[in-house]
Amino acid sequence: EGCAAPGALVRRRALHLICCQPMPQSSPALARCRRVPAKLETMLAAFVCGDEMERGFGGEGDSELGDTLNNSPELLRRRFLSTAVSAQLGAALVLSRANSASALGNPFQGLTDECEVDACINRDRRILQRAGRKFTIAQEFDKNGSKSTGSAVWEGDFVLTKYMETDFPAGFWKGKRVLELGAGTGLASMVAAILGASEVLLTDGDSKVLELADKNLKANLTPDEAARIKMKQLKWEWAADPSWKLEGGGDIDVVLAADLTYYKDNIPPLMRMMQAISTTPTLLLLTHTIRPTDGDSMQQFYSAFDVEKIASGPAFDGHKETFLYRMRPNASKKMKTAEDDGCKEGYVKNKQINLCV
């Protein structure tokens, strides 16, 4: 029988190939596999990646093997993945093997939503589960060398959307009016709509990023869900004008902000915008991932908001360097300006070192 059918021996051979382990030489039943290792590896990788099977081996019985496997590519793909997961293969081994043969792609992409330190931002897409739904999120971070931070799903997005799903009582989101700042791919806005928000304002300062978000909305939501999301270009510096008001009126119940604090200089305009769109009851959910250049930049939020810093719970599994700041406006707190402490626009005085930061 050997490799003539998509059964246990073929799956065993595939696992050894993907894991870079040598093929056992002791079983006579595997002799046929050993005769065509390179071709078989190509065929199996094609199955896992969902591509069409290569036909036509040279040698006795090889065309039969190609025909047999070609007749059930999805069956072999499912059995292969099932075997790999049940065997608890290390993700590092699998991805290392897959990345070493870029022409074959990554056969395990989509099995998990976890990546090490935003390592997956260069992928064309991300696949994850949120709010009982499978999301396929298109990314364009590396497309045409744009490197737009809004064109990818970051760790902060994972934490924020998981927190939205797991850390609120049933029905919390129903009827809420939600605004997302720096929405990027639109993931958090989509999760809010699925969880029951009556209106979601998806905003970003980059018009090209809004086009990507629109693409993701159409690919992942029903028409009814998509109709509850309105997209709008919103630049944070607009809030520096005291007369600026958010178009459309009405109070915002929840403000979402995922990983928008990677540049220290972004924080003062972000804070001003948060204050401009919020009222006292507004709940602001901001995620921040620790980076070497942070310093004490996040302390600025304590000057204008009541802040609860959260670092534990289901949302943080696998994301130990990311925190969530749960905030509400405090009318008694006044955000410092350049005139208050003699610092130039966008900076505040750090009293410990007596410098503007």
**Residue-wise pLDDT tens digits, 319-347:** 889 999 999 998 787 665 544 556 766 66
pLDDT of residue 89: 37
Scanning the chain, the segments in alpha helix (DSSP H) are 8-18, 31-35, 37-48, 62-70, 73-86, 91-99, 155-166, 187-195, 207-220, 223-227, 267-277, 338-341
Token duo for residue 215: 């693409």
Centroid of chain to Cα 44: 28
Confidence label for 185 from pLDDT (cuts 50, 70 and 90): very high
Confidence label for 318 from pLDDT (cuts 50, 70 and 90): confident
Token duo for residue 325: 């700041």
pLDDT of residue 278: 94
pLDDT of residue 158: 93
Centroid of chain to Cα 319: 12
pLDDT of residue 176: 97
Token duo for residue 74: 């999805």
**Residue-wise pLDDT tens digits, 160-180:** 999 999 999 999 999 999 999
Q: Report the alpha-carbon distance of residue 49 to residue 204 in Å, rounded.
A: 34
pLDDT of residue 314: 94
Q: What does pTM read for this prediction?
A: 0.65
Scanning 196-352, the segments in alpha helix (DSSP H) are 207-220, 223-227, 267-277, 338-341
Q: How far is CA 272 from CA 89, 92, 275, 304, in A?
A: 48, 42, 5, 9
Cα-based angle 338, 300, 323 (whole degrees, multiple of 5): 155
Confidence label for 297 from pLDDT (cuts 50, 70 and 90): confident
pLDDT of residue 136: 93
Which residue did the predictor score with more confidence, 35 or 239?
Answer: 239
pLDDT of residue 101: 35
pLDDT of residue 218 exceeding 60, the answer is yes
